[in-house]
Amino acid sequence: MTEKPGISLIICTRNRGKSLDLMLELLLAAVHDNDQLLEILVMDNGSSDETATTVVEYARRWGKVVYSNEPNKGLSHARNKAVELAKGEILAWTDDDLVITKNWLSNLVAPILANDADCVVGRIEIAPHLHRDWMKPFHRHWLAENINPSVPQLIGANMAMRKNCFEGGMAFDPETGPGALGYMDDTLLGMRLRKLGKRIVYNDDARVVHHFGAGRLQRSFWIKTAQAGGRSTAYVAHHWEHGVISLLWARLVWQRMKLGVLLVRTHFRGFAGNEGIDEQEFGIRKTIAYMEGMCSLKGVPFKY
């Protein structure tokens, strides 16, 4: 690259105006002097709170802040609209519940500018006040912690890519992600880009801290997460990978029996609490949801 390309920084949001307000205040102070930054594009996915008013006020203070709205529910719809509208040659992404660190944006795009990568994913830490003693690596993974992964995967909270990665019909699958099946939106995009030979690298210096709502620690959240993760995986397995499972119903019955036995044991041992979930239970619940999803998709024509 002979000239440094412009950057569009994208934040997709829905009904989290207060957290977005705090995030933007800190973000603007951190990126204000970045001369490559063309815009901060806030894509509102049909909020009914004060999100629009909040963003318009920031736009009045600093012309690089741009508000847009995508009423079709689903994070993937919002992201695809943002790609369509973005002016930059590099697209950087973050979320409305993060605190970024010094030089975050410059560090995030550095491997792309050096032509060492087509996509970059950065370090995501869980805010200290949200740490719990019961957390294991799999809990942290599902809370989007990303620290020195063995194989870098795209995570929408902290990633950047060349805009030309979206050429040739490449897009986020609108059936995946929050507001739809729940998961696999950014992961699926990364899988598809890798198959095209795109380079995805991890940069530990591009660091953000995740201040998610404490409700995500509740046991009820983990049960819903396992179910959504299983359904999302089934969708990708069927429509994108054309997967087939033999003896599907027998396997499903067996998994349901395993879950029943585990819950009985957990009840009598007094292990179940209001927060967290046992890794084995999570895995079984996710497998059941995956198999149920595959059952419902059996005979459905492949989309891709």
The phi and psi torsions of 185 (rounded to 5 degrees) equal -65, -60
Tens digits of residue pLDDT in 160-212? 999 999 999 999 999 999 999 999 999 999 999 999 999 999 999 999 999 99
pLDDT single digits (tens) 113-142: 999 999 999 999 999 999 999 999 999 999
Q: Directed axis angle between helix 75-85 and helix 185-195, to 10°?
A: 50
Distance CA 103, CA 149 (A): 21
| Side-chain-facing half-sphere of 237: CA atoms under 13 Å | 20
Q: Report the predicted TM-score, pTM, of the whole model to 2 decimal places.
A: 0.93
In this model, does residue 238 exceed pLDDT 50? yes
What is the reported pLDDT for 7? 98
- pLDDT of res. 1: 43
Asked if 230 contacts 287 with a C-beta cutoff of 8 angstroms, the reply is yes
Kindly list the domain boundaries of the chain, sorted by start residue: 7-214, 218-297
Rounded to the nearest 5°, which phi and psi values hold at 234? -65, -40
Q: Where are the beta strands (DSSP E) in the chain?
A: 7-13, 37-44, 65-69, 90-94, 98-100, 119-126, 158-162, 200-210
Q: Are 169 and 128 in contact (CB under 8 A)?
A: no
- Please give the Cα distance from 188 to 183 (Å, whole number): 9
Give the CATH superfamily of 7-214.
Spore Coat Polysaccharide Biosynthesis Protein SpsA; Chain A (3.90.550.10)
**Mean pLDDT score across all residues of the chain:** 95
- Do 239 and 294 form a contact (C-beta atoms < 8 A)? no
pLDDT digits (tens, 9 = 90+) for 51-91: 999 999 999 999 999 999 999 999 999 999 999 999 999 99
* Cα separation values, 59 from 26, 67, 155, 253, Å: 15, 8, 27, 55
Residue 74 — left, alpha, or beta (φ > 0 → left; ψ -120 to 50 → alpha)?
left
Q: Are the CB atoms for 295 and 252 separated by under 8 Å?
A: yes
